[in-house]
Structure 1
Amino acid sequence: METKRTPVRRTTINLLIDGAMFLAFLVATAPHLSGLAIHEWLSLALGAALITHLLLHWNWIVQVARRFFGKASWTARLNYLLNSLLFIAFATIIVTGIMISEVALPFIGISIARDDFWLGLHRMASDATIVILGLHIALHWSWLVNTTRRLFARSTRKAGRSGATQPATSQESTL
C-alpha cells in the first residue's frame, strides 16, 4: 500500500526561509565571533535568500503597492513601508559590504581599494536594519507564534503515530 504524502505548505516554507534568514542575519551581525570569512560569505548567501523571499512574496508586494493609497489596511501599509525600509537597508548593507570586502571579492580575484566611507555606511545600515527588523518581527509576532505552534503540533501528531500496522477490526477483516 502506497502512503499518501502531505504537500509542504507555503506557510511552512515561508517560516523556514524566514527563520533561516533571521539566524543567518544574527550570525552575520557578529563578525567578531564568526570571523570575517563567514561574515562575508554568509551575508552574500543571505542576499540570495532575501531575493528568494521577495520572489515568494512578489504578488503581495504588487497588490499592496497597487492599493497603497486606496483600500489597503493600515497594517498592510505599515508592513509595506517597513518592508521597503528593510529592503533599502539590506541593499545598502550588501552593496557597502561588497565595497569593503576583504575575503569574498579577493577570493574571486577582485580587489577594491577600501574606503572608510563605505565602512561607516555599512555599519549605519546594519544598525538601522536591526531596529527595522525588530519592528518587522513585532508586527508579525502573532503569525510567527501561530505558525510555529501549528507546525510543531503537526510534527508531534506525526511523531505520535506508530509506523506499526494496526490489527484489523472484525469489519475490516471481512472486506
Structure 2
Amino acid sequence: MTQTAKRPNRNLTNLVIDIAIFVAFLVAMAPHFSGMTIHEWLGVAFGATILSHLVLHWQWIVQVTKRFFSKLQWSARLNYALNALLFIDITVIIFTGLMISEQVLPIFGLTAAHGGAWKMLHSQSADISVYLVGLHVALHWQWIVNMVKRFVITPLLPQRKAAQPAPAAHTMLKEEGVLQ
C-alpha cells in the first residue's frame, strides 16, 4: 500500500508567508533598529518572499487580469489595483535599495551609484509602502483574523470532549433500541 503525502494546508502556508513578509517589512522599515547589514539582506530576502507570495496567488492574478474590465466585483478590482501599486512600489524599493547598497552588492564585487536621487527615491517609496501595506492589511483583515483563530488560537484552547448523554437518557435510548 502506498501512502500519499499529505498536502500542506494552503491557508496555513499563506498565513505563515504573510506573517513572515509583515515581520520582515516592520524590521526593514527600521534600519536604525536592525543595522544596515540586516536591513539590506532582509530587503533581498523580502524580495524572494514576495515572489513566493505571487507564485502562491498566481491563479488569482491571472483570473482577475482576464476579467478586470468585464464582470468582476469592485472589491476584487480594488484589491488588484492596490496589489499592483504595492508590487510596483516594492520593486522600486528593492531596486533603489540595491543601487545604494553598502553591504550586499560589495560582497559580489559589484558597486552601484550611491547618489542622493536613489536614496531619496528609496526613502519616498518606503514611506508610500507604509500606506499601501496598511491598506492591504485592512482589505484582508477578516481573512487574517479568521486564519489566526483557526491556526493559532483554536489549537491553543483546551479541547472539549463531545457532549455525552446523561446516564438516564443513555439508558432510555438503549431501551428504545437507538443505542446498542
Percent of residue pairs bearing the same amino acid type: 51
Q: How many angstroms apart in 1 are the aligned matches of 2:106 and 2:75? A: 44
Q: How many angstroms apart in 2 are the aligned matches of 1:7 and 1:97? A: 37
Q: How many angstroms apart in 2 are the aligned matches of 1:6 and 1:151? A: 17
Q: CA deviation at 1:113?
A: 2.9
1:153–1:34 CA distance, 2 compared to 1 (3 A): closer
Q: CA deviation at 1:8?
A: 2.6
Deviation digits for residues 112-156 of structure 1 (CA, Å, limit 9, x no counterpart)? 231100000000100011100000000000000011101124523
Matched position secondary structure for 2:113: coil
Matched position secondary structure for 2:102: coil
1:83 corresponds to: 83
1:62 aligns with 2:62: yes
Cα RMSD over matched residues?
1.9
1:148–1:6 CA distance, 2 compared to 1 (3 A): farther
1:147 aligns with 2:147: yes
TM-score where L is the length of structure 1: 0.85
Q: CA deviation at 1:160?
A: 4.8
Larger radius of gyration: 2
Q: How many angstroms apart in 1 are the aligned matches of 2:65 and 2:7? A: 31
Structure 1 runs not aligned, ≥5 long: 162-175
2:166 corresponds to: none
Corresponding letter in the other structure for 2:150: R
Q: How many angstroms apart in 1 are the aligned matches of 2:111 and 2:10? A: 41
Aligned length: 157
2:35 corresponds to: 35
1:17 corresponds to: 17
1:170 corresponds to: none
Structure 1 runs (4+) greater than 6 angstroms displaced: none
TM-score where L is the length of structure 2: 0.82
Q: Which runs of structure 2 are paired with 1:86-101 in the superposition (5 Å)?
A: 86-101=86-101
Q: How many angstroms apart in 2 are the aligned matches of 1:113 and 1:82? A: 30
1:165 corresponds to: none
1:116 aligns with 2:116: yes
Deviation digits for residues 34-79 of structure 1 (CA, Å, limit 9, x no counterpart)? 0000000011000000000001100000100111111110110000
